[in-house]
Structure 1
Amino acid sequence: MLKQHLRKAMAVAAAAAAVFGMGACGGGSASGDANHLVITWWGNQQRNDRTNKINEMFEQQNEGVTVDGQFSEMSDYFQKLSTSAAGGHLPDVMQTGLGYLDQYEQNGLLLDLKPYIDDGTIDVSDVDPNIIESVTRDDGAVYAITNAMAAPALIYNKTLLDSAGITVPERPTVAQFLDICRQVYAKTGVKTNFRYYEYGELLEYFVKKDGTKLYDVKNNKLGVDSPEQLEQYFDVYETGIKEGWHVAPEVFTDIKAGSVEQDPLVYGSDPSRRSWCTFKYTSQFGAYQTQANNNGDTLGLATWPSDNVKNSNYVYPSQFWTVAKTSKNPKLAAQWINFYTNNVEANKVLLTDRGIPISSKVATAIESDLSDSDKEAVDFINNVVKPESSPNSLQTPAAATDVNTKVLLPIEESLLYGKIDAKTAAQQYFDQANEYLAKGAK
């Protein structure tokens, strides 16, 4: 069953790669109506409800305009987007993540939004110039607008750990994290999920402790010089399985990857199938707390573990809004992005679901409307992350998706099934990732 999940993830990446190879597909947006927009995103039910409400508000303020909002679980989202691209019918506005942003851009699928910034359609006057600069290409083009800012967050079951007399440091080292994993398992029977079945952000976080980037984008290879630099990450999996405190891989055959509602932190009653923590982003804290409320649990926040958290940690664009180059309504699409970015009332609906608003004016205006969990996430970014963080690269190679799905996931699976050790895993990742990155450059 787990291999079926992995094959599905790989199929998504393969389909996306096939589409990207086509370049701009022609045809147009999902609708030829000059007053109609198709907007897509991934997310949980809370995000879906809030974004749909924003769409309704945009319609109300723009007479005659209709917005078709389409959402999916993240595990299905990019497969659907690839299908739309293959048919020449990409939506007008798309939520994208960093890896896919680079691929869509490099293959000519995205519209340059710089003209709409220049003419004021998309107002960035209250946005930190560094945020805009981070998405501005060397030729001045801007293919995406950051939709919010977030930071990596170890979200943990504070109620469970308090009852066991265990305290999580704000910025744990790797050794401290491992000690907590052992204590939680010994005292409660609850295990740990070390971000299994997700992409390589945590591996990159571990590598950054030495001031090293995971990818050398310019030279189409890994940024590390030896597999030894990767071993610490894979050793956590090996140690967890050997000592019994890591969640068994079989657990992931029964849950939907990427689903907040089915994350082992909040889902299930058997301690051996639960995790005391999840490796996510601050933008997801509120949604996780909502689910934890069903169990009567309060959640806490800490940084992802690192032996040099200042080097590893960062504030990050949570996602991006992009416009398809084939959109029949690019001006209206730009107006929607501006509404999302700058309308205070709309952001009082959204709050920090995707992260902290990039408009300083909006961020200040919604502060009093935030829930306790949202305020906690904002406080965490401002007082725990920002003082001990470093810039993070916004560029990933086109082959990063293949590296994640065809290299990292199978290696982690083999580790959890005890087929290989951490040293072998690091060597395999080093060799195979470099091979994919080199191929992606051709």
Structure 2
Amino acid sequence: MNIKRALISVSDKTGLVEFAKALHERGVEILSTGGTAKTLSEAGIPVRQVSDVTGFPEILGGRVKTLHPKIFGGILADTQDPSHVKDLRENAIEMIDMVVVNLYPFDLVQRQTRDEDVLIENIDIGGVALLRAAAKNHRNVVVVCDPADYKKILNSIDACGDVPLHDRRMLALKAFYHTMRYDATIHRVLSELFASEKYEHLTFERFAHPQKNYEILDSVDERIFKLSNYDENTIGVLIGAILTTIEENLIVGLNSETVVSMVNIRESGGRLCDISGNVVVLRRLNGEMARKLREGTFSTIACEVLEDEDLVLEILKGKKIVRYERVCGKDFEKVEFLTKARQVANLVLRKKVVLKSDSKERIILSTALEFLPTFAVVGKAEDGFYHVELDPSNPTNALKKLLISVPKRFTLVATNGEPDGMFMKTCEENRISVVG
């Protein structure tokens, strides 16, 4: 058993007691602070207070708990470096083998208030530092920021007494991504509050390199909209719509059958009640735009920038508002996005489609491929959903992954790579038509 000591300090206590108990039963000593230590102690789990390790109490109303050399030395030490081992021994610092941390819920708080003092108090300092330190030293420390990973980690410990390096790397990537998004939210909210600049630090880019994949990770206003409770087909279309660059003067309206209608705001004038269907996607939503959209028959509006929030919610009462972010990502985000999107339609839209005599299916397939990396495969299933699969090497691998990962009967596929004989043979065996 290589994991002997874990530091646990979490705001989201989902699965905390069960995870900590399982670690304790496997011989792991648990260090903790504040409310987390109290929760674990009340559950009968032995806990060693961080203040007992550091010899220094929590100060400044809890602002300083873990920021101490005896904590960060134990997290950042490289056990393969003799000088690090010497420093640990001379300063009586114990190694910390696992860091389990999630951050103060700043995003939740900012949805409830714009009180500067409240926002400032909910900016996590020590937690971010702990995650980054553990992620940096992931060869020696397992970093955990998501309760969804608890079970997998326990399974690894039971299987081999440790967490494999590949998994440690993935957990480190997740931690760095988590702190990046956390800082981005703080920057956005404080920028709006202080009115010093516009928040435009992450923008969507088209796929420019076959080894890079830019995907969308949604930021949803959970007070009035939950993806998990909404119609799957509409979610799929919404995901696809967000994958196009939406200009300030363009509204994209979609219904559940993936029929697309687009209206130029500058040219339309008056109320935009001719936009119907389930979803409307636009760049910026404010009071003026809300009045134009008030009579529409759609149920959901997706926007990147929401201004005059209270006024907009009052005008559009009864309609659901989704706030999304356009962000750049690579492999880790791609995997996370595709995992979520695999069971819904992955339809990618562009602003201008020349119909000619092609069928709707061919138009959708060819349009999607324009926005995807090389060697992508787009398939249409019998149920009308469109699914996307990617592979960095060749379209045949992407096709095989698609057929394995999506348990549906496909009728059409298209690829932006060069289909070889094996690609065509696989399609023939599965009675799938290839759109050329």
Q: Could you tell me the TM-score, scaled by structure 1's length?
A: 0.26
Q: Could you tell me the TM-score, scaled by structure 2's length?
A: 0.26
Q: Which of 1 and 2 has higher RCO (CA within 8 Å, sep 6+)?
A: 1
Q: When you count helix as a share of all residues, which structure comes out higher?
A: 1
